[in-house]
Amino acid sequence: MIEVFDEDLHAGVNLALEVGEILYREKTEHQDLMIFENNRFGRVMSLDGAVQTTEHDEFIYHEMFAHVPMLAHGKVERVLIIGGGDGGAACQVLKHKTVKATLVDIDRTVIDLSAKYMPTVSDGAFDDPRLEIIVADGCQFVKDTDQKWDVIIIDSTDPHGPGEVLYSAEFYADCKTCLTDGGVIVTQNGVPFVQGEELRNSYDRLGALFADVSFYMAAIPSYVGGALAFGWATDNKDLRKIETGKLAERFLDADIETGYYSPEIHQAAFVLPYFVQKILTAEKD
């Protein structure tokens, strides 16, 4: 009898994945963590019943999460990753040879088990001396720290459970105090087709704090419901106006091999479908 992993993250929409072998299943201090084999996606990590990352499609998500803000900025020295305990964002960030990164995740077990069972995702990032790992609530961390970063990547679970605070106006305001002048924040902001309200909430909350707020999109096969939106927030309006040729120069200099990201896709990702634009501009009742 084949066991099936059944994700019911969005009302009326389920994702069913055949479970080959369950490699790990435990309630950590914070979340229900499961890692299992699937014949299409390879090893899959879920937290509280929601797919977090899979071996075979994580490159799309993590390349777009890291390279879009870093290549648009062009002079990144320090990156803060809130969440991201699977190490995928850290892996892509550290491909930029001159940067240092800080990863703040609430759940040490996610980090340890991702390294153990899904090592291709972090690909050695956890052992890179340029990465500082801090186990803490990201919301409290940005409130307490006096450090600043050029890029802040909010690689959180969805706004339920421990991840909920990472979508609050208070958290975004505290992140802004941790950003260097002209720095940029990018967020995991869900699939607009089934998470439109979350998208609009982030848009409004970030819009109250930053001069330039938008989204860019990429389709991640294991995230059900269509293309995923990454939130974009900065006071430097020029970052989104960068020429493709300039991006291509920086991409070449960075000498990074990618499977999804390209300067052309970077630019195109910011072109939002009309239904997403309507979510952002609709009159609020």
Nearest approach in angstroms of CB 89 to ligand SAM is: 8
Under rule CB under 6 A, which residues in 205-244 are in contact with ligand SAM? none
* Contact with ligand SAM (CB under 6 A) among 157, 187, 202, 234: 157
> H helices of the chain, where?
58-73, 88-93, 108-117, 119-122, 138-144, 169-177, 192-207, 244-254, 263-269, 274-281
The answer to whether residues 218 and 260 touch, using CB atoms and an 8 Å cutoff, is: yes
Site string for ligand SAM, 37-56 (x = CB under 6 A): ----------x----xx---
Nearer to ligand SAM, 47 or 93 (CB): 47
SS3 48: coil
List active site positions. Answer: 155
CA distance 279 to 281: 6
User: Among 15, 23, 133, 165, which residue sits at the site for ligand SAM (rule: CB under 6 A)?
Assistant: 165
Taking CB under 6 A as the binding criterion, the range among 72-80, 163-171, 174-182, 200-208 that sits at the site for ligand SAM is 163-171
Q: Which of 70, 103, 110, 184 binds ligand SAM (CB under 6 A)?
A: 110
| CB nearer to ligand SAM: pick between 46 and 214 | 46
Whose CB is nearest to ligand SAM? Answer: 85
Q: Does 63 bind ligand SAM (CB under 6 A)?
A: no
The two tokens of residue 238 are 């020029």
Q: Which of 139, 186, 247, 280 binds ligand SAM (CB under 6 A)?
A: 139
- Do 231 and 187 form a contact (C-beta atoms < 8 A)? yes
3-state SS class at 110: helix
- What is the phi-psi region of residue 182: left when phi exceeds 0, alpha when psi lies from -120 to 50, beta otherwise? left
Taking a C-beta distance cutoff of 8 angstroms, is the pair 85, 107 a contact? yes
d(CA 37, CA 210): 41
Provide, rounded to whole angstroms, the least separation between the CB of residue 162 and ligand SAM. Answer: 3
Is residue 85 involved in binding ligand SAM (CB under 6 A)? yes
Q: What is the binding site for ligand SAM (CB under 6 A)?
A: 47, 52-53, 61, 82-86, 104-107, 110, 137-139, 155-158, 162-163, 165-166, 188
